[in-house]
């Protein structure tokens, strides 16, 4: 849930105007907004969704992959927190965990632990349908979880007669989500290609303190090469700088230059270094008011084009 001032800052309106919206849009107490014991008013996902709709925001399905062949650059952190933030803003969100380590699964669905649940391997193997494998975390956030069975996934994809390029289109297009996000492993696997082929956007996180441009170069070359055989592949890759620190400004400018030379753009938002990301892995939510909280909010605002001059008419 988000409070009035956060909502006002996302929409670039004065906080008192947000409060006016409550009566204008007939928002219902306890359903669309709730007042906590600290006397502050919070907007529920249902409430934010209602406001967005009233302001003519078009909820069109977005399919997004978070992929870079470099490990440890923040793919899971980014995909999990985009999923959580977008769902808190009323986007019906599905996170697909393609990584056999199941880090995203652990963070979104802590009670999964060692439970025996279906994952992508079972879906491709046709043990179970994709929609039956989805776990509803809350009415706005769902997860296709992963576990170690996905060790067998690559082998299964190679040996099964499926149209890899259009597979996700066939099984996901009809599902009722506004946003689908794939968290991937750091490699050039078939499952990553399948996820990329379905996504219109690939978010490629890079770190400034590591040589992640090499990984990006490799990924872009590979996508290019594969798109000859995968006609469905029409993915824009956009780089997200993760682990930024003010002292690294020169380094960041240099990296952005290197990224541009590769022919891709970067997000305006960069993710700063903040231990709140690490703490949230254990405690579920990023603490309000931290750099991590601000940066994820900015990223989701940019990604989903929530600013009034973009998709929402100013009222
Ligand atoms: N901006 C940040 N500030 C502080 N810590 C971060 C930040 N981004 C990620 N981390 C931490 O870095 C570690 C690696 O991040 P994460 O697991 O998201 O990377 P990954 O790319 O998914 O790794 P893998 O390739 O193993 O899947 C995690 O402990 C995470 O909490
Ligand atoms: Mg990961």
Q: Which of 74, 219, 275, 282, when mutated, tests ligand 1's pocket best, judged by the most ligand atoms within 8 Å of its CB?
A: 74
| Ligand positioned closest to the Cα atom of 80 | 1
pLDDT (tens digit, 9 = 90+) per residue, 32-69? 999 988 888 999 999 999 999 998 999 999 999 999 99
For residue 282, the CA-to-ligand 2 centroid distance in Å is: 15
310 pLDDT higher than 70: no
Closest atom of ligand 1 relative to the 292 alpha carbon: 1
Q: What pLDDT sits at residue 290?
A: 96
Q: What is the mean pLDDT of residues 160-176?
A: 94
Task: Kindly give, in sequence order, each residue whose CB lies less than 8 Å from that of residue 59, ignoring residues fewer than 6 positions away.
Answer: 49, 52, 53, 91, 178
Dihedral of the alpha carbons of 232, 238, 239, 242, in degrees to the nearest 10? -100
Q: Both ends of the chain: CA-CA distance in Å?
A: 23
> What token pair was written down for 65?
């992959």
For residue 27, the CA-to-ligand 2 centroid distance in Å is: 38
Pairing of strands 236-244, 271-272: parallel
The b-or-e profile of 13-39 (16+ CB within 10 A means b, else e) is beeeebeebbeeeebeeeebbeeeeee
> Which residue has tokens 């930024």?
244
Task: Kindly give, in sequence order, each residue whose CB lies less than 8 Å from that of residue 63, ignoring residues fewer than 6 positions away.
Answer: 168, 172, 180, 198, 199, 200, 201
Q: What is the mean pLDDT of residues 248-261?
A: 86
The closest alpha carbon to 47, from 24, 22, 23, belongs to: 22
Beta partners for residue 2, in sequence order: 43
Report the 10 Å Cβ neighbour count for 41. 18
| Ligand positioned closest to the Cα atom of 207 | 1
Q: Identify residues whose C-beta is under 5 A from ligand 2, the ion.
A: 75-76, 103
Residues lining ligand 1, Cβ inside 6 A: 71-77, 99, 103, 186, 242-243, 271, 273-275, 277-278, 281
Q: How far apart are CA 150 and CA 35, in angstroms?
A: 43
Minimal-distance CA residue to ligand 1 atom 3:
273
Minimal-distance CA residue to ligand 1 atom 23:
72
Residue 74: which region, alpha, beta or left (left: phi > 0; alpha: psi -120 to 50)?
A: left
For residue 5, the CA-to-ligand 2 centroid distance in Å is: 32
241 pLDDT higher than 90: yes
> What token pair was written down for 201?
């956007």
Residue 214: which region, alpha, beta or left (left: phi > 0; alpha: psi -120 to 50)?
A: alpha
Asked if 17 and 308 touch (Cβ cutoff 8 Å), the reply is: no
Handedness of CA 120, 188, 268, 168 (dihedral sign): negative
| Ligand positioned closest to the Cα atom of 281 | 1
Distances (CA, A) of 86 to 23, 207, 211: 24, 23, 30
pLDDT (tens digit, 9 = 90+) per residue, 91-145? 999 999 999 999 999 999 988 876 789 999 999 999 899 999 999 999 999 999 9
Q: Which of 150, 277, 293, when mutated, tests ligand 1's pocket best, judged by the most ligand atoms within 8 Å of its CB?
A: 277
309 pLDDT tier (thresholds 50, 70, 90): low
For residue 57, the CA-to-ligand 1 centroid distance in Å is: 32
Closest atom of ligand 1 relative to the 244 alpha carbon: 1
- % of the chain beyond a pLDDT of 70: 96
Task: Kindly give, in sequence order, each residue whose CB lies less than 8 Å from that of residue 39, ignoring residues fewer than 6 positions away.
Answer: none
Q: Which of 65, 68, 72, 275, when mutated, tests ligand 1's pocket best, judged by the most ligand atoms within 8 Å of its CB?
A: 72
Q: How far apart are CA 99 and CA 119, in angstroms?
A: 10
Q: Is the pTM of this model over 0.85?
A: yes
For residue 215, the CA-to-ligand 2 centroid distance in Å is: 15
> Which residue has tokens 């849009």?
25
The closest alpha carbon to 61, from 172, 191, 136, 138, belongs to: 172
The b-or-e profile of 181-219 (16+ CB within 10 A means b, else e) is bbbbbbebbbbbbbbbbbbeebbbbbbbeeebbebbeeb
């Amino acid at each position: 849930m988000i409070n009035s001032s956060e909502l006002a800052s996302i929409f670039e309106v004065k906080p008192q105007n947000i409060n006016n919206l409550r009566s204008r849009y007939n928002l219902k107490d306890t359903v669309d907004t709730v007042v906590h014991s600290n006397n502050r008013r919070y907007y529920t996902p249902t409430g934010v969704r209602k406001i967005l709709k009233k302001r003519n925001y078009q909820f069109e399905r977005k399919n997004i992959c978070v992929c870079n062949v470099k490990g440890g650059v923040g793919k899971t952190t980014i995909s999990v927190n985009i999923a959580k933030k977008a769902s808190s803003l009323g986007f019906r969100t599905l996170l697909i965990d393609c990584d056999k380590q199941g880090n995203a699964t652990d963070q979104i669905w802590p009670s999964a632990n060692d439970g025996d649940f279906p994952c992508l391997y079972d879906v491709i193997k046709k043990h179970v349908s994709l929609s039956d494998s989805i776990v509803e975390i809350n009415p706005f956030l769902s997860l296709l979880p992963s576990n170690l069975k996905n060790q067998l996934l690559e082998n299964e994809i190679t040996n099964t007669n499926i149209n890899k390029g259009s597979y996700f289109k066939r099984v996901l297009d009809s599902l009722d989500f506004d946003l689908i996000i794939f968290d991937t492993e750091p490699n050039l696997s078939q499952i990553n290609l399948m996820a990329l082929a379905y996504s219109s956007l690939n978010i490629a996180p890079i770190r400034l303190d590591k040589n992640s441009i090499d990984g990006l170069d490799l990924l872009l070359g590979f996508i290019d090469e594969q798109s000859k055989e995968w006609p469905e592949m029409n993915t824009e890759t956009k780089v997200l700088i993760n682990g930024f620190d003010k002292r690294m400004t020169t380094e960041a400018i240099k990296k952005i230059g290197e990224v541009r030379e590769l022919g891709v753009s970067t997000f305006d938002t960069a993710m700063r270094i903040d231990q709140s990301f690490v703490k949230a892995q254990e405690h579920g939510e990023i603490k309000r008011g931290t750099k991590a909280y601000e940066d994820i909010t900015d990223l989701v605002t940019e990604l989903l084009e929530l600013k009034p001059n973009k998709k929402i008419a100013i009222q």
